[in-house]
Structure 1
Amino acid sequence: MRLIASDIDGTILGHDGRISARTVAAFRDAADAGIDIVFVTGRPPRWLDPIRDQIGHTGTVICSNGAVTYSLESESVTASHLMGWETVEEVRGIIAGLAREPYFALESLDGFHVEPGFLPRDRPPSLQAVIPEALTPAMADGGIIKMLSVLHSGSADEFLDLVRPRVAKLIAVTHSAPEMALLEMGPLGVNKAVTLAEYAASKDIDAADVVAFGDMPNDIEMLGWAGAGYAMASGHPGALAATALQAPRFEDDGVARVIEARLAALHRT
């Protein structure tokens, strides 16, 4: 074990925005043992406060499902994969023809752009400052890293099954929001595994020496690529089917338990 790659939401972070003391201690002990730590998330760079403030991580975070590599040490984007406006426009048209009243948003390197109707009326405080506006080609100037589409009814799995067959040759599409029909779409051929593999190669670390944790469909490729990919027992069926290894439930500090056991095994050798 030379590298630990962990998803954030639902894997180490709960709905209350907290990471358990046991999990914080497990990552600290792994870092003290010389193991590289990288967090791999669907979150954009601006939503990394939990790992910065609670774990004290100052290294690399792979954001936006692999579209962005971000350094917490320098607070800067170190690499990115971008989408063109033509792709956004084509995919938007396809989804609008498949689903009733889909709404769209774009994540770019310079901000979050949502069209009217995308956000629910009870949108969380973190999004209160976002002003709904028409999505325009000018937004591509900021470097589009993620496209989102939401239905205010139905499930994410149903929405994904409807859309994926029609857009799979244009864009990478997945989801990580079990309680809403929200799709996350990124540059074609880019996912968490692709960018994690690039990061590991830059450190001369083989996939066999990587331990990864995840819980949702956007973690599937990463769990399959890592030498030891652990799906959370509390995770989505798709994530659980992607790997033979399973960590205890999030509520039971599953990630911490696996890291503790693996560190103990290292000390015995």
Structure 2
Amino acid sequence: MRLIASDIDGTILGHDGTISTRTVEAFAAAAEAGIEIVFVTGRPPRWLDPIREQIGHTGTVICSNGAVTYHLGTERVLNSHVISWDTVAQVRDIVTALAPDARFALESLTGLHVEDGFLGNRIPAGSLNVVPAVLTADIADGGIVKMLAVLHTGNADEFLELVAPGMGALIEVTHSAPELALLEMGPVGVNKAVTLAHYAASLGIDAADVVAFGDMPNDIEMLGWAGAGYAMASGHPQALAATALVAPRFEDDGVAQVIESRLAALRLA
């Protein structure tokens, strides 16, 4: 184990915005042992305060499902992959034809741009610090790294099953919303695993020496790529099906338990 790659929400971070003391201490012990730590999340760079403030992480974070590599200490984008406006327009037409009530938002390197109706009653605007706006081509000037589509009924699995076949090779489609019909769409050929592999290679670390944790469909590729990919026992069935390794439930500090066990094994080796 030379590198630990962990998802954030539902894996180490709860709905209340806190990371357990045991988990914080486990990551600190791993760092002290010389193991590289990288967080790999669907979150954009501006929503990383929990790992900076609670874990004290100031290194690399892979954001927006692999579309952005960000250095938390210097608050600098190291690399990014963007979606063209033409692709946004085509995807919007496809999704709207299949789900006329869908509403959209665009995550760019300059912020989150949401159209009227996207937030609804299930996504509180105050938690996002955004104002609904008309989605126009000039947003692409800021580098669109993720496209979001929401239905205010149903769930993400149903929404994904409805629209994914119509996408072809136009865009990557996934989700990480356990209770909301919210889809996350990114540049073709980009996911958590692809960007993590590049990052690990830059450090001279092979997949076999990577331990990864995740709980949702947007973690599937990462869990399959890592030498030891752990799905959370409390995670989505598709994440659990993607790997033979299962960490205990989030509520039981599953990530901390695995890290503690692996560190103990290293000390005995």
Q: Which TM-score applies when normalising by structure 1?
A: 0.98
Aligned mates of 2:46, 2:258 — CA distance in 1 = 29
| Deviation for aligned residue 1:125 | 2.5
1:124 Cα deviation from its structure 2 partner:
4.9
- Which amino acid in 1 is paired with 2:93? G
Separation in 1 of the partners of 2:137 and 2:119? 21
Query: Alpha-carbon deviations, 1:203-248, whole Å to 9, x = none?
Result: 0000000000000000000000000000000000000000000000
Amino acid of the residue matched to residue 30 of structure 2?
A
Report 1:103-118 matches (<5 A).
Answer: 103-118=103-118
- Change in 2 beyond 3 A, CA 1:191/1:27: same
Counterpart in the other structure of 1:101: 101
Q: 1:65 is matched with which residue?
A: 65
1:159 aligns with 2:159: yes
**Which runs of 5 or more structure 1 residues have no equivalent in the other structure?**
none
SS of 2:211's partner is: strand
In the alignment, structure 1 residue 125 sits paired with structure 2 residue 126: yes
One-letter amino acid matched to 1:262: R
1:143 paired to 2:136: no
Query: 2: CA distance between counterparts of 1:23 and 1:111?
Result: 30
4+ residue runs over 4 A deviation: none
Q: Cα distance, 1:126 vs. partner?
A: 2.3
Distance in 2 (alpha carbons) for counterparts of 1:47 and 1:168:
31
> Matched residue pairs, number?
268
2:188 paired with 1:184: no
Partner of 1:92: 92
Q: Does 2:198 match 1:233? A: no
2:81 matches 1:81: yes
> Pairwise mapping of residues 1-40 of structure 1 onto structure 2 (< 5 A)?
1-40=1-40
Distance in 1 of aligned mates of 2:96 and 2:162? 12
Q: How far did residue 84 of structure 1 move?
A: 0.3
**1:130 is aligned with what amino acid?**
V
- Which blocks of at least 5 consecutive residues in structure 2 are unaligned? none
Distance across 1 between alignment mates of 2:120 and 2:20: 29
Equivalent AA in structure 2 for residue 156 of structure 1: A
Residue by residue over 1:136-177, the C-alpha shift from the partner in whole angstroms, topping out at 9 and shown as x without a partner, is 000000000000000000110000011111113100000000
State the 1:255 CA deviation.
0.1
2:233 touches 2:249 (CA, 8 Å); kept in 1?
yes
Q: Tell whether the 8 Å contact from 2:125 to 2:131 is kept in structure 1 after alignment.
A: no
**What percent identity do the matched residue pairs reach?**
75
Cα root mean square deviation, aligned:
0.8
1:252 paired with 2:252, answer yes
Alignment of 1:194-205 (within 5 A): 194-205=194-205
Secondary structure, counterpart of 1:58 in structure 2:
coil
User: Does the residue aligned with 2:176 lie in a helix, a strand or coil?
Assistant: coil
